[in-house]
Amino acid sequence: MKCSETLNAGIKSLYLTPPIKLKPNVCIESLPPEVLLKIFSYLDAVSLLTVGCVNKRFYELANDNGIWLKLYSSSLHPKWTIRKMKSKQTETLSLGCAAVHDRKPGYWKKEYISKQTSALRTRVMRLAKFLDPYTGLPCKNKEAMKVSGLSWIIVLKDKNGKEHVIEKPNLSFMDTSVTVLWHGTDWPCLDILSTLKLFGVTPLLPDQSIPPSKNGPHRFSLIAEYHLANLTEKSVVFGADELVQLFSLSPGLLVGIWKEKNEIAFVMANLHYNQLLERSILGSATVQYVPPPNKPLLDDIDSEFGLHDYSLHLDLHGRNCRYMCGSFKCLFCRKGDIENGYLRLRVVNLKDNRKHLPVIGTLGICWETDVFKGNVKDCFVMDLTLLDETGKPFWCFSAPVHMELSTKSSGLYDYMGHMYTADYADSEGKVCVEILWLEETKEYIIVSLVLYVSTKKVNSWYGTSY
């Protein structure tokens, strides 16, 4: 009885005791704008841009002209601004107030970003002016990449409009190009993909002292766009090994497809150094960089020659291995060599065996994923750099080229073996290569190399009419 009375009294006390009022949790979003602005004023530019992505209120506060004017002034005259701020001189403060209140929100943010972007481009383009005496191309691309934080990504877009970003590629550097290889295991199925876009990506506000943040603000520069719809039905297989089939897309892209399933194994982009920095940095997310037109010299046109004193640098490689590298000077084309809309430049003559070029190793393109590696034979990557008589890059590309067994005999008595042809063509010209396989010594020899330059390209370059 006594126990039940005690229990009833305890239950009654639960109903009679007033509820305890818990203090609400203090959330940073509930702070007044003056306090948030004070907090934001201690952030750097990258942090300000990042916090502005949280919500609309933070975006509006992070656009405050007072904060960005301070950052802009500090970047312009760091020591001078700090000294003035410490002494609290009236003139500086009054000018600052006028600059803050007379401008729309976000004005000084745009000015700061524009100034920093312009300074970065200046530093990168200054590095691009250092040219290799043999290739005529920028020779400090790696330094420029480090300064700018440049990397490359591909964006796969499916037929429903969803985008899949592929990052962290493997890079292979050659004398005149870089090969960029992406691979992964969680890529979308090829059947649902519509386009592939290649972008150069740089931090919007790079900091030399720290590595670029993955989640920070970035700038995208469109380099190329490719259509993937019905790829295996519309395109001819470029090459294959036991595991993958290769499909080539212009300009300079290889897509590896698993044989056992219709899925992408890897994507390989071959990027020539000519204006690579400009294409990777100076374009926009939707529009590619367009180089300025050439300004020819007054004495470029010769009455006897179509083209004269041209130079060629040629690399043949398989991404990680080099097969041939050569430079050729004093190339010319007589006007009698112009026909069918092309000017012919003969680099290696079939009948002149003194100029035939040996190839090191067995030609093929190497590929790899996290688990597998392979080598697709009878193909290679060709890096061509054709310089005009002033040493300017006239026609440049880096692209995969496939070899085919020729039906005609070589007609050479010094060599015995099968003849292969390897041809490339784009809107600016054609390259025709004849390669002989010597069975006795187990090696390839280039016995003929001819360039055909489009007359449209020449006319556009010189402002003439051939």
Rounded-to-integer distance, Cα 209 and Cα 426, Å: 42
- Domain assignment present for 263: yes
Please tell me what DSSP assigns to residue 290.
Answer: -
pLDDT of residue 80: 46
**What phi, psi does 101 have (nearest 5°)?**
-80, -25
Contact 227, 213 (CB under 8 A): no
Q: Which residues in 402-426 are b (16+ Cβ under 10 Å) and which e?
A: bbeeeeeebebeebebebbbbebee
pLDDT of residue 85: 47
27 or 457: which carries more pLDDT confidence? Answer: 457
**What phi, psi does 103 have (nearest 5°)?**
-115, 155
Do 240 and 319 reside in the same domain of the chain?
no
Do 274 and 320 reside in the same domain of the chain?
no
Q: What is the mean pLDDT of residues 167-171?
A: 92
Structure tokens of 269? 């982009």
Do 387 and 344 reside in the same domain of the chain?
yes
Residue carrying the six token digits 């429903």: 160
Determine the straight-line distance between the first and last CA of the chain, rounded to whole angstroms.
Answer: 119
For 415, the enclosing helix (H) or strand (E) is none
Rounded-to-integer distance, Cα 81 and Cα 71, Å: 10
Question: How many independent structural domains does the chain possess?
Answer: 2
Amino acid identity for residue 129 in this structure: K
pLDDT exceeds cutoff 90 at 181: yes
pLDDT, tens only, 42-58: 998 888 988 888 889 99
**What phi, psi does 152 have (nearest 5°)?**
-125, 140
For 267, the enclosing helix (H) or strand (E) is strand 264-272
Highest mean pLDDT among 40-49, 76-85, 402-411: 40-49
Task: Give the chain's mean pLDDT.
Answer: 84
- Domain assignment present for 189: yes
pLDDT exceeds cutoff 80 at 89: no
Amino acid identity for residue 56 in this structure: K
pLDDT of residue 326: 93
- Domain assignment present for 107: no
22 or 290: which carries more pLDDT confidence? Answer: 290
Do 318 and 265 reside in the same domain of the chain?
no
pLDDT exceeds cutoff 70 at 25: no
Residue 257: CB atoms within 10 A of its CB come to 21
Do 344 and 232 reside in the same domain of the chain?
no
Of the pLDDT bands very low, low, confident and very high (cuts 50, 70, 90), residue 7 is: very low
Helices 107-128/65-76 angle, 10° precision: 30
Full-model pTM: 0.83
Q: What is the mean pLDDT of residues 327-353?
A: 89
Of the pLDDT bands very low, low, confident and very high (cuts 50, 70, 90), residue 416 is: confident
Amino acid identity for residue 105 in this structure: P
In 113-263 the beta strands, taken as DSSP E runs, fall at: 151-158, 163-166, 170-173, 177-183, 193-203, 218-227, 239-240, 244-249, 253-258
Three-class secondary structure of residue 353 per DSSP: helix
Rounded-to-integer distance, Cα 253 and Cα 176, Å: 16
Rounded-to-integer distance, Cα 283 and Cα 275, Å: 12
Q: Which domain holds residue 458?
A: 310-462
Do 323 and 273 reside in the same domain of the chain?
no
Do 317 and 379 reside in the same domain of the chain?
yes
Rounded-to-integer distance, Cα 430 and Cα 6, Å: 102
Do 356 and 403 reside in the same domain of the chain?
yes
- Domain assignment present for 202: yes
With a pLDDT cut of 70, the percent of the chain lying above it is 83
Do 338 and 267 reside in the same domain of the chain?
no
Three-class secondary structure of residue 174 per DSSP: coil
Q: What is the mean pLDDT of residues 297-318?
A: 77
90 or 122: which carries more pLDDT confidence? Answer: 122
pLDDT exceeds cutoff 50 at 82: no
- Domain assignment present for 85: no
Q: Identify any residues that bridge with 245 across adjacent strands, giving them in sequence order.
A: 240, 257
- Domain assignment present for 177: yes
Rounded-to-integer distance, Cα 93 and Cα 433, Å: 71
Structure tokens of 291? 């180089």
Amino acid identity for residue 319 in this structure: R
Which of 69-73, 197-201, 246-250, 284-288 is predicted with the least confidence, judged by mean pLDDT? 69-73
pLDDT exceeds cutoff 80 at 18: no
- Domain assignment present for 68: no
pLDDT exceeds cutoff 60 at 96: no
Do 443 and 341 reside in the same domain of the chain?
yes
pLDDT exceeds cutoff 60 at 39: yes
Do 268 and 163 reside in the same domain of the chain?
yes
Contact 232, 190 (CB under 8 A): yes
376 or 120: which carries more pLDDT confidence? Answer: 376
pLDDT, tens only, 198-251: 999 998 887 655 565 666 788 999 999 999 988 888 888 999 999 999 999 999
- Domain assignment present for 194: yes
Contact 422, 430 (CB under 8 A): no
Residue 324: CB atoms within 10 A of its CB come to 19
Structure tokens of 101? 């209140």
Do 321 and 275 reside in the same domain of the chain?
no
